[in-house]
Structure 1
Amino acid sequence: MFSVPSLFGYASFVTSFGVGDGSWLAVLLKAFSSPSRKFDDFLPVGSEVTREHAYFEVEGGGWKMGRLFLHGARLLSRGFCSLGSNRISVCIVGSGPAGFYTAEKMLKAHQTVEVDIIDRLPTPFGLVRYGVAPDHPETKIVANQFSRVAKSERCSFFGNISLGSDISLSELRENYDIVVLSYGAESDRSIGIPGEDLNGIYSAREFVWWYNGHPDCFKMAPDLKSTDTAVILGLGNVALDVARILLRPVSELAKTDISDHALASLQDSTIRKVYLVARRGPAQAACTAKELREILGMKNLHIKIQQVDLDISPSDEEELKNQRIQKRVYELLSKAAASPHCPPAEQRELHFVFFRKPDRFLPSENGCTVGAVHLEKTFLEENGGRGERFAVGRGEFEDITCGLVLKSIGYKSLPIDGLPFDSHKGVVPNLKGRVLSSYQTGHEAVEHGLYVAGWLKRGPIGIVATNLYCAEETVASISEDVEKGLLTAASGTPKPGRQGLLQLLENKNIKFVPFSGWEKIDAKEKMVGQQRNKPREKITTWEELLKASNV
């Protein structure tokens, strides 16, 4: 039994544990003993109730109550934001982790919310499906949680709907009370140096999409047979992912959900040496210790790090004192460099190259394909006394001969019509998830009803779980605005929500893939994968995906 405030002393409470994410407790409130009172008067608005019972949620041991009406007095606790009795329609653009976490939090917080998730792809889950490396199946388990969200009676998935070309932002805002943009970052930052357009140079995003079976990169076909050396520019987790895929034995990759065309190409690959090139030093490496430890521990892989690159300055030492993750990364690199190696001639090599920045890409003899990366040595210099240090060229150069270059220097979000966008930072200007139409300090103006989450909100940083906290902040902002009455339509007429979207798609003759369509794709992929001793065999073309969904 739970002790409850004396205010509810005349009600009896019993508890029962439910399922879900494990942090929620369903509390069963029995009917009040007084038949003279109207039972509904005592219930939080939006609760799933019958004449006999009411359900409340408890999180972290604290009561989450809604609005209670006792003797005409309204009591509102901090733990629950009531939406009133009217349905509130929400459209989330983008079905990756940020989108699904936002949907999940909205559905849990507000019983009268109806959520629609749209995505330009026929398949949901975004980076969980097309960004997470195939040899990291444990990270993809979160898709099961997202599936439960999509199957909620108050949630619908609309795949194969492209914001901008199929439907405009203004049309969504006309039909929904709340629009949350979480479509991520589907473009790449450019280095802006000569030779960047040579064949054999790809962004890490393209390469990841290629081996993960993204339909946009099905025809990419990188040449892995004409060279023994690949250069990866950058040292974040994505850079380590692509290095690992290039160097991991194909027999191990064959047991994953890697795309069939990528597996065939890697089977014939002649790449034996991979260089990871970083502008700054090991104390500033952007990867996490977990990812680094995995690649350093790969069998039959010779790790090469120049000892001079591991010598750190007093400024580096001071920086590492306050950065636990970076300190651990530095320790792992130092340990790897000190380990004795007597590799056989056929063993594959992974080189860590610090304090170098690309100056230009040099062509091979045919003039069309990359043949080398021309690097400039760097040192770190403080910028204007702000404590930040940047890589500055020394005027000393060297080349790494190679036939494949992967640029892992960051993803970039793209603007759409009608959306404020900070092109310098590559994000939508926002205040805790509220989109700002004007974002000069002291003169911020909020676009009521328009919100943002995920990479589009904060930039392409963090892991899958980072989006959970990001979504919580955005949903908290939405709840505050709802409670203040800031999202009520000026006309007073409820917006059509899902019915408006369905009518709009019908008028435009646009076919969408519902979640049941994705389940057909999912079933077919798993069936074929089982025949090949894989978790799934991904369908990798737009045509086949739509065909499998029975649209």
Structure 2
Amino acid sequence: MTVDRKVRVAVVGAGPAGVYAADILTKTEDLDVTVDILDRDPTPFGLIRYGVAPDHPRIKEIIKALKRVMANEDIRFFGNVNFGTDIKLEDLKGFYDAVVFATGARRDRELTIPGVDLDGSYGAADFVYWYDGHPDAPREWDFQPHAKQVAVLGVGNVGLDVARILAKTAEELLVTEIPDNVYEGLKKNATTDVHVFARRGPAQVKFTPMELRELSHSPTIDVVVHPEGYEFDHGSMEALAAAKSQKLVVKVLGDYLAKEPSGAPHRIHIHFCQSPVEILGEDGRVVGLRTEITELDGTGNVRGTGEFKDWPVQAVYRAIGYYSDNLPGLPFDANGGVLPNDGGHVLDIDGSPIEGVYATGWIKRGPVGLIGHTKSDAAQTVKMLVEDLPKLPAPEFADREAFDRHLDSRGVEYTTWEGWEKLDAHETSLGEGDTHPRERKKVVPRDEMVGIARG
């Protein structure tokens, strides 16, 4: 691969997928490259900042690694830049040899059952953005004083995060980075019992052993695994033999199943082989959940039994997966919720690669896999990009400051890495100076974040 010019690459999305792609690009041998990472949030790190529960400091250790990458002088950050509003693809092609989309998946996948639009039926992503202090989320959450029994649909890590936050007390979360509005909101949460529903059996759940173990770390929570549906078929045994992590998950579930409740004031119930078929309402508000009891079919999948059960819950949180946004000016696979691609190149509607346009992360492969998978995913995309470089045209405006001038001319109040460091220091000082000292306390309003970052 020979490119006799300095290469400029734009990465849209500053989560792990985008940062890893920038890191791999700048470490490519015999390539003189600079990378600009753009994000619609004023801050970097994507779902690490706004998708991981605040009581998960160990998972957020990944931010330290991402910070080391972003300190590279060949990588710049432009926050508060919204693709499709502040900038479009044709603009980016004028400044960069190639564009990599790493915009992830931010909203809830739709659940098409009756009652999904009732008051008290919530998307898990909306709740996560609220408790993580995303600037575009509402400042208040609709906790109802009568909502003591709550359902969570879905057995991935997000479902467990939602269940744990609902079951914990507001005071327990004061040691985390939650902003004041989240603390005040959580004090209104009347939940005593969270019911987590799995459509299949224990060998098919999607959460990780660490997430599952952490449910019992709170002294105010008992974890209750119900024996109904706690079954294994031939497909289940094959799944356990193939994955050590799944075997560990089942061991933890078995420990919970055998454990006697301690009498803690809050409970997280885990139910297997229960497929939600309707959210029940009265006067426009959730009053229950109807499930069909399922049975394992020998392959690890399930079939319906025709037997139904009603659960008297007053709120339902849908944690059945994330879904990506359709990016303006780009093709979109609505079924998969991804940019059509061949493993790296974004494909046009006729299946041909769009010159100089690539995808990585969840916008490329869907919202599956852990953060570690994102690095190998980015490596695959970068390999394709680097192989294409000799035949890609040079951008019209190749100097590094041309893009800055373009944003300035548009009146975009963008933030930079140096600006993030100011905001980072400010949030740290807020945490240290709080009545309940902690590592940081998040700033929530977008204009306030931008103001601090821009000095």
Amino acid corresponding to residue 330 of structure 2 in structure 1: L
Corresponding residue to 1:448 among 350, 355, 364 = 355
Matched, 1:398 2:312: no
- Inter-partner Cα distance in structure 2 for 1:381 and 1:273: 30
Match of 1:116 among 36, 46, 49: 36
Residues 294 and 303, structure 2, Cα contact 8 Å, conserved in 1 = yes
* 1-structure distance, mates of 2:400, 2:152: 45
Post-superposition Cα deviations, 1:337-381, rounded to whole Å, max 9, x if no partner, equal 12233x33x5311111111122221224xx132121122222344
**Partners of 1:507 and 1:171 in 2: CA distance:** 13
**Which one of the candidate residues 326, 345, 350 is aligned to 1:415?**
326
Q: Distance in 1 between matches of 2:407 and 2:33?
A: 22
1:468 matched to 2:372:
no
Shift of 1:210: 0.8
**Residue identity opposite 1:107 in structure 2:** T
Q: Does 1:190 align with 2:110?
A: yes
Worse overlay, 93-102 or 354-363? 354-363
3-state SS of the aligned residue for 1:143? helix
The structural deviation recorded for 1:267 is 2.8
Deviation at 1:83, TM superposition (A): 5.0
RMSD: 2.1
Secondary structure of 2:235 counterpart: helix
Q: CA deviation at 1:431?
A: 2.2
Match of 2:445 in 1: 541
Mapped pair 1:524 → 2:449: no
Aligned to 1:33: none
- Mapped to 1, the partners of 2:116 and 2:423 lie a distance apart of 37
Q: 1:257 aligns with which of 157, 160, 177?
A: 177
Query: For 1:230, which of 140, 143, 150 is the aligned residue?
Result: 150
Of 116, 121, 124, 1:204 maps to 124
Q: CA separation in 2, counterparts of 1:302 and 1:520?
A: 41
Superposition pairs of residues 51-450 of structure 1, within 5 angstroms: 83-109=2-28, 111-223=31-143, 225-341=145-261, 343-344=262-263, 347-364=265-282, 367-381=283-297, 390-437=301-348, 444-450=351-357
Residue 479 of structure 1 aligns to a residue whose secondary structure is helix
Aligned partner of 1:149: which letter? V
The aligned counterpart of 1:17 is none
Amino acid at match of 1:496: A
Give the 3 Å change call, closer, same or farther, for CA 151–334 of structure 1 in structure 2. Answer: closer
| Residue 142 of structure 1: how far off its partner (Å) | 2.5
Name 1:488's counterpart in structure 2.
Answer: 393
Query: Per-residue CA shift, 1:116-160, capped at 9, x if unaligned?
Result: 111111111111111112111122233233233333322211111
- The alpha-carbon deviation at position 281 of structure 1 amounts to 1.1
Is the Cα–Cα contact under 8 Å of residues 204 and 406 in structure 1 kept in the other structure?
yes
Q: Tell me, in whole angstroms, the C-alpha distance in 2 between the residues paired with 1:524 and 1:390.
A: 50
Shift in alpha-carbon separation, 1:496–1:422, aligned structure 2, 3 A: same
Task: Write the distance in 2 (CA, Å) between the matches of 1:83 and 1:238.
Answer: 44
TM-score with structure 2 setting the length: 0.93
Larger RCO (CA under 8 A, 6+ residues apart):
2
1:358 partner amino acid: P
Q: Which blocks of at least 5 consecutive residues in structure 1 are unaligned?
A: 1-81
Q: Report deviation, 1:300.
A: 4.2
Could you say what secondary structure the match of 2:171 adopts?
Answer: helix
**Contact 2:201/2:231 (8 A) holds in 1:** no
